[in-house]
């Protein structure tokens, strides 16, 4: 019997692990991956973070290097591993949780290895679980190569011909810019793209966000609501240049497909050889299926700052769990500390 079981050893699970260690409680962090940092390691090769090093650190360990420079995804992967080692966090890898049940005051956590019992469970399985791909993708013929952004690594995976990237978020814009260096590239987006530089003067954009209160705005504040409504801009002038200089051709929202054709709004049809779906992710909390009233009908947790409706069950790392930074490296420590203070009480 453990006091607390944490599911997930990404930045969220490790941050709460750091604080749990300080409480002296008996706890364990379970993760189905083979190594810590694997989630970051498996993201596309050219990924460079939009948060500078100063804003990419977890509590208790500063990410080395110029605080205004931008880390690569592999630097973060290595950093997370070092973090777990430095604080000797009790992580059990290769352990997939497939069911969590509550009987009386205690939880039973079933995994592909052992069964565990705990008084508290903290779900830190990340906001990006399953690729979300539009239904019409299945109308495309097998002549078209389709990849979700989570499967994309680099342009060598593509077959000959043009590329349509669907989704105008940061991943979509970055991937489109990369492939446009060697291919005719379209970027399908339902909204007008807004751009923001990564630095102003010598300071990273996140330094300015911090100073003007964007990072500390809560989800229910006026500023927080406005930022949520607007969504993230595209970070980086290099992306803006590539897109505005028309290396990447912007097209409207993709809404249907047939054979090798994709239909996009305000445009005719595009004959396409490669499609990259940068269309986001779906949550997956199937392992909580036996616990009623904890997941809403859209599949998202019902909670207040990570505290669920079920005693002893918590979430960490949800987008806008409390602030913009809740699902970012910079903000996770703040939410983890809040949960620990709650658990202490």
Binding of residue 33 to ligand FAD (CB under 6 A): yes
Which of residues 5, 28, 30, 89 is near ligand FAD by CB under 6 A?
A: 30
Q: Which is nearer to ligand FAD, 128 or 277 (CB)?
A: 128
Binding of residue 9 to ligand FAD (CB under 6 A): yes
Q: Which is nearer to ligand FAD, 140 or 178 (CB)?
A: 178
Within positions 128 to 147, which residues make up the interface with ligand FAD, using CB under 6 A? Answer: 128
Scored b (16 or more CB within 10 A) or e, 103-120 reads: eeeebebebeeeebebbb
Q: How far is the CB of 38 from ligand FAD (least distance, A)?
A: 6
In 3D space, the residue among 231, 214, 76 whose CA is nearest the CA of residue 167 turns out to be 231
Per CB under 6 A, which region of 197-205, 255-263, 298-306, 323-331 contacts ligand FAD?
Answer: 323-331
Q: Are 327 and 321 in contact (CB under 8 A)?
A: yes
Beta strand 195-196 with 185-188: parallel, antiparallel or unpaired? Answer: unpaired
Q: How far apart are CA 35 and CA 41, in angstroms?
A: 10
Q: How far apart are CA 51 and CA 329, in angstroms?
A: 8
Using only C-alpha atoms, the chain has a radius of gyration, in whole angstroms, of 21
Which of residues 7, 16, 205, 275 is near ligand FAD by CB under 6 A?
A: 7
For ligand FAD, how many residues bind (rule: CB under 6 A)?
31
Q: How far apart are CA 1 and CA 32, in angstroms?
A: 20
Within positions 89 to 108, which residues make up the interface with ligand FAD, using CB under 6 A? Answer: 96-97
Alpha helix stretches (DSSP H) within the chain? 11-23, 38-41, 73-86, 170-179, 205-211, 222-230, 237-244, 329-344
Binding of residue 335 to ligand FAD (CB under 6 A): no
Q: How far is the CB of 14 from ligand FAD (least distance, A)?
A: 7
Binding of residue 317 to ligand FAD (CB under 6 A): yes
Per CB under 6 A, which region of 121-129, 153-161, 180-188, 210-218 contacts ligand FAD?
Answer: 121-129
Alpha helix stretches (DSSP H) within 234-321? 237-244
Question: Taking CB under 6 A as the rule, which mask of x and - marks residues 266-295 in contact with ligand FAD?
Answer: ---------------------x--------
Per CB under 6 A, which region of 122-130, 209-217, 222-230, 247-255 contacts ligand FAD?
Answer: 122-130
Instruction: Name the token pair of 166.
Output: 């669907």
Per CB under 6 A, which region of 29-37, 100-108, 190-198, 259-267 contacts ligand FAD?
Answer: 29-37
DSSP-derived secondary structure for 142-205: TTSEEEETTT---GGGSPSS-EEEE--SHHHHHHHHHHTTTS-EEEE-SS---EE-SEETTEEH
Binding site for ligand FAD (CB under 6 A): 7-13, 30-33, 39, 43, 47, 49-51, 56, 96-97, 124-126, 128, 171, 287, 317, 327-330
């Amino acid at each position: 019997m453990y006091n607390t079981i944490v599911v997930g050893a990404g930045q969220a699970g490790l941050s709460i692990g750091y604080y749990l260690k300080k409480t002296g409680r008996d706890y364990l962090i379970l993760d189905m991956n083979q190594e810590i940092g694997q989630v970051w390691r498996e993201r596309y090769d050219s990924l460079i973070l939009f948060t500078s090093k100063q804003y990419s650190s977890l509590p208790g360990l500063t990410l080395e290097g110029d605080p205004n420079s931008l880390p690569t995804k592999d630097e973060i992967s290595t950093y997370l591993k070092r973090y777990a080692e430095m604080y000797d966090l009790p992580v059990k890898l290769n352990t997939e949780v497939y069911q969590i049940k509550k009987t009386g005051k205690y939880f039973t956590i079933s995994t592909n290895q052992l069964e565990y019992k705990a008084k508290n469970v903290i779900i830190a399985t990340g906001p990006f679980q399953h690729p979300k791909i539009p239904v019409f993708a299945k109308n495309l013929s097998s002549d078209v190569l389709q990849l979700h952004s989570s499967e994309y690594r680099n342009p060598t995976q593509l077959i000959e011909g043009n590329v349509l990237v669907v989704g105008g978020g940061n991943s979509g814009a970055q991937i489109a810019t990369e492939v446009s260096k060697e291919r005719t590239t379209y970027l399908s987006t339902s909204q007008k793209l807004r751009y923001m530089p990564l630095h102003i003067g010598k300071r990273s954009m996140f330094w300015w966000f911090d100073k003007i209160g964007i990072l500390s705005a809560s989800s229910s504040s006026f500023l927080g609501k406005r930022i949520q409504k607007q969504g993230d801009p595209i970070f980086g002038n290099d992306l803006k240049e590539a897109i505005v200089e028309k290396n990447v051709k912007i097209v409207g929202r993709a809404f249907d497909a047939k054979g090798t054709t994709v239909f996009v709004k305000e445009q005719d049809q595009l004959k396409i050889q490669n499609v990259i779906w940068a269309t986001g992710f779906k949550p997956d909390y199937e392992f909580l299926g036996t616990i009623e009233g904890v997941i809403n009908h859209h599949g998202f947790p019902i909670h207040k700052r990570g505290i669920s409706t079920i005693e002893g069950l918590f979430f960490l790392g949800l987008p806008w769990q409390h602030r913009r930074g809740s699902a970012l490296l910079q903000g996770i420590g703040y939410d983890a500390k809040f949960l620990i203070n709650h658990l202490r009480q």
